[in-house]
Amino acid sequence: MAVTDEAIEKIKGMIVSGALRPGDRLPKESELASELGLSRNSLREAVRALSLIRILDVRQGDGTYVTSLDPQLLLEAMSFVVDFHRDDTVLEFLAVRRILEPAATAMAASRISEQQIDALSAQLDKLGDSPSVEELVACDLDFHRGIVQSSGNSVLCSLLDGLSGPTTRARIWRGLTQEDAVSRTLHEHRAILAALRDRDGEAARSWATVHIASVEQWLRSTL
Amino acid sequence: MAVTDEAIEKIKGMIVSGALRPGDRLPKESELASELGLSRNSLREAVRALSLIRILDVRQGDGTYVTSLDPQLLLEAMSFVVDFHRDDTVLEFLAVRRILEPAATAMAASRISEQQIDALSAQLDKLGDSPSVEELVACDLDFHRGIVQSSGNSVLCSLLDGLSGPTTRARIWRGLTQEDAVSRTLHEHRAILAALRDRDGEAARSWATVHIASVEQWLRSTL
DNA sequence: TGCGCTGAGACGTCGGATGTCTCAGCTCAT
DNA sequence: ATGAGCTGAGACATCCGACGTCTCAGCGCA
C-alpha cells in the first residue's frame, strides 16, 4: 500500500479511535509527516483527500482541524459524488427518494411546528406566477429540505439533500417548463402542507409519494 | 480558491461534461498539470482526492483512468464516511435503514429468482448452532445484500450496503451475544425468505421491518 | 482603550531529482 | 513459428528544499 494510503488510514484510525476528537487540531504538517514516517508532500495528499470528504478542515495560515463530523457535513460530500452520475441512473436515485421522502414527510407530520408550516406556506405564496427556473429550483429545494428537517433525523435529512443534489434537480427542472407541470407541482406542495397542518401523517405520506411519482413519471417519459 | 481545488473542479467538469468518459485515460501528470496551469505536486493532491472517492483510478507505472462511475463504486465511498460516525448517530442510520430495507425487500419479492432464494436458504442452514461473531456478521451482511440486490436498484443496494457498513454492524453484533437474540434473528431471516418464496411483498416488507426494529429496540435499550 | 502594525507560525505552491512499477516489444531458445 | 524471459521507455511514487501567502496574537502608538 502506498504511504499516502497508509497515512489516510492512520489519520482515520486516530479519529475513529477517539485519539482525535471533533474540533481537535492536528500537529502541523511537518511534524505529522515525520510522526507518520512520510514526506510533507505525501501527507498533504492524504490531508487533501480527507478534506474533500469533509473529515478534515484545512485553514491556511492557521492549522488543520477535525471537522464536527456531523452527519449533515459528512453526507454533504455525497452530493459531490451524485453529480458524477449520468442520466441513466437518475431514475434509480429518484426511486430511492421516492422511498425516503414520503417516510420523512410522514415523520415530520407529528413534529413540525406551526411556525415552520407558516413559513413554508409564505414562501410558496411569495413565488410569482411566472418564476424563473432558478427560483423554482431554489424554492423546491427549500421546501423539501424544510419538511425533511422536521423529521428529526439528520442522517435522513442529509441523505435526501444529497440525493436531490442541485445538479440533478436543475437537470430535471430545466426540461420541466410546461406551465401545467409547474402549477401542478405548486398544488402538490400546498397539499403536503395542508396534510402536515392537520397532523395527518398518512395523507402527508401519500401526497409526497404522488409528488415524487409525478416527477418520476414525467422523467421516464422524457428520457 | 486554491489551485488544487480548481483542479478538482476542472477534472470534475471534464467528466460531467462528457469530455472524459468512464474508462478514459487522463493525460500524464506532467501534461495535465501544465494544461491546468499548476505544478505536478498540486495536481497530484487533486488526483488523490478524486481517487479516494473512486472517481479516478490511479495505476502506478501505467496511467490514471476514469473509473466506471458505477453507482455501486461511487457509493462505496460512503461506507468510508459512515465509519467516522460516533455511536450517538448509529440510531439515526438504523432509522434510515428501517425505511429503506423493507421497501427493498418488498421490491425483491417480485424479482428474486428461486435459485437465489435457495442459495440464501442454504447459507442460513450452513450456519451452525454456535457461530462466531465474525461468521454472524458475514452471514448477516450477505443475507441482506443478497436480497437487496434483487430489488433491481443498484443505487438502493449500494446505499444500504454503505449504511450497514462493516464497522457499524460489527459494533452492533459485538454486544449481541445473548443466545435468544441470535436465534430470533435467524428465525426472522427464514421468515423473510418464506415470504419472498411466496412472492408476498407485503409480508416480506413487514418481516423486514420487524427484523430491523428488533435490532433498533435492542440497541436503544443498550445505549 | 482601541486601532493598526508586525512578526512568528502554518498552510500553499513550486521545481527538480530519484525510486518503483507496468507494459510493450525484442531476443532467443525450443 | 512460438513461447518465455529480458529490457527499456514511460508513468506514477516519494522526497527535499525553497519561497509565497495567509492567519492570528501581541506589541506599540494615538
Contacts 24+ apart (CB under 8 A), A131-139: A131/A182, A133/A170, A133/A173, A133/A174, A133/A177, A136/A173, A136/A182, A137/A166, A137/A169, A137/A170, A137/A173
Please list, in sequence order, all residues whose beta carbon lies within 8 angstroms of the beta carbon of residue B210, skipping any fewer than 6 positions away: B188
Closest C-alpha among B104, B136, B107, B113 to residue B123: B136
The mean pLDDT value for B148-171 works out to 87
Cell numbers given for A137: 429550483
Residue–nucleotide distance: B97 CA to C18 C1' (Å): 50
Question: Which has the closest alpha carbon to B83: A2, A145, A109, A13?
Answer: A13
Quick check: B30 CB within 7 A of strand C? no
Is the fold of B3-66 the same as that of B72-222? no
pLDDT on residue B171: 73
Closest-approach residue (CA) in chain B for A106: B99
Extract the C-alpha cell encoding B18. Answer: 462528457
The DSSP element (H or E) to which B138 belongs, if any, is helix B133-149
pLDDT higher at B140 or A47: A47
Span CA (A188) to C1' (C26), Å: 71
Instruction: Render pLDDT for A62-106 as a digit per residue (tens, 0 to 9).
Output: 999 999 999 888 888 888 888 888 777 888 999 999 999 999 999
Percentage of chain A beyond pLDDT 90 is 65
Render pLDDT for A147-174 as a digit per residue (tens, 0 to 9): 999 999 999 999 999 888 777 777 777 6
Which nucleotides in chain D have some atom under 7 angstroms from a protein Cβ?
Answer: 9-17, 20-24
CB proximity A164–strand C (7 Å threshold):
no
What band does A21 get if pLDDT is binned at 50, 70 and 90?
A: very high
Q: Is B5 exposed, middle or buried (0-12, 13-18, 19+ CB in 10 A)?
A: middle
State which fold the A72-222 domain adopts.
Answer: Four Helix Bundle (Hemerythrin (Met), subunit A) (1.20.120)
Please give the backbone phi and psi of residue B216, each rounded to the nearest 5 degrees, phi first. Answer: -60, -45
- Return the domain boundaries, chain A: 3-66, 72-222
d(CA B102, CA B108): 10
pLDDT band at A179 (very low <50, low <70, confident <90, very high): low
Between CA A179 and CA A182 the distance in angstroms is 5
Lowest-pLDDT choice from A42-46, A93-97, B103-107 = A93-97
| pLDDT in the model for residue A131 | 73
Range with the largest mean pLDDT of A152-166, B12-26, B74-88 = B12-26
Q: How confident is the model at residue B134 (pLDDT cuts 50, 70, 90)?
A: confident
Confidence bin at A198 (pLDDT 50/70/90): very high
Q: Do A84 and B55 touch (CB under 8 A)?
A: yes
**Helix/strand/coil for A98:** helix
- CB proximity list for A57: less than 8 A, separation 6 or greater: A51, A64, A65, A66, A67
> Quick check: B8 contacting A, CB < 8 Å?
yes
Lowest-pLDDT range, A46-55, A85-94, B105-114? A85-94
The residues of B between 61 and 100 with beta carbon within 7 Å of nucleic strand C are 61-62
Q: Cα-flanking dihedrals φ and ψ of residue A54, to 5°?
A: 65, 25
- Nucleic acid strand D within 7 Å of A64 CB: no
Buried b (16+ CB within 10 A) or exposed e, B11-32: bbebbeeeebeeeeebeebeeb
Q: Does A94 touch chain B (CB under 8 A)?
A: no
Which DSSP helix (H) or strand (E) runs through B78? helix B71-82
| A70 CB burial (10 A radius; 0-12, 13-18, 19+) | middle
Report the residue from B52, B86, B155 with minimal CB separation from A92.
B155
Three-class SS state of B58: strand
| Cα end-to-end distance, chain A, whole Å | 43
Interatomic separation, CA of residue A146 and C1' of nucleotide D5, rounded (Å)? 67
User: What is the model's pLDDT at position A132?
Assistant: 76
> Does the distance separating the beta carbons of B80 and A77 come in below 8 Å?
no
Phi, psi of A96 (to 5 degrees): -70, -40
Closest of A147, A91, A160, A177 to residue B99, by C-alpha: A160
* CA-wise closest residue to B211 among B200, B199, B193: B193
Query: If DSSP codes are grouped into helix, strand and coil, which group holds residue B169?
Result: helix
Pick the range with the lowest mean pLDDT from A24-33, A113-122, B65-74, B94-103: B65-74
At residue B83, the 3 state secondary structure works out as: coil
Q: Using an 8 Å Cβ cutoff, are A51 and A6 in contact?
A: no
Q: Does the beta-carbon distance from A92 to B153 stay under 8 Å?
A: yes
**pLDDT at residue number A177:** 63
- Of A37, A39, A29, the residue nearest A10 (C-alpha): A37
* CB B39 within 7 Å, strand C: yes
A44, A84, A100 ranked by CB distance to B45: nearest = A44
**Is B46 in CB contact (< 8 Å) with chain A?**
yes
- A78 or B208: whose pLDDT is higher? B208
**Which is nearest to A34 in space by CA: A61, A9, A3?**
A3
A63 sits in which H/E element: strand A63-66
Yes or no: say if B36 and B10 are a contact pair by the CB < 8 Å rule. yes
Mean pLDDT within B141-148? 93
Higher pLDDT, B125 or A88: B125
- Does the CB of B3 fall within 7 Å of any strand C atom? yes
Question: Is CATH 1.10.10.10 what the domain over B3-66 is classified as, yes or no?
Answer: yes
CA B172 to centroid of chain Cα atoms: 17
Question: In this predicted model, what pLDDT tens digit does every residue of B36-71 receive, in sequence order?
Answer: 999 999 999 999 999 999 999 999 999 999 999 998
Average pLDDT across chain A, whole number: 90
Distance CA A154, CA B35 (A): 41
User: Cα-atom radius of gyration of chain B, to the nearest Å?
Assistant: 22
| B63-66/A56-59 β-pairing | unpaired
Residue in chain A closest to B11 (alpha carbons) equals A84
Residue A190 and residue A143: Cα distance in Å, rounded?
Answer: 10
Nearest-CA distance from B105 to chain A in Å?
12
D24 nearest neighbour residue (CA to C1'): A62
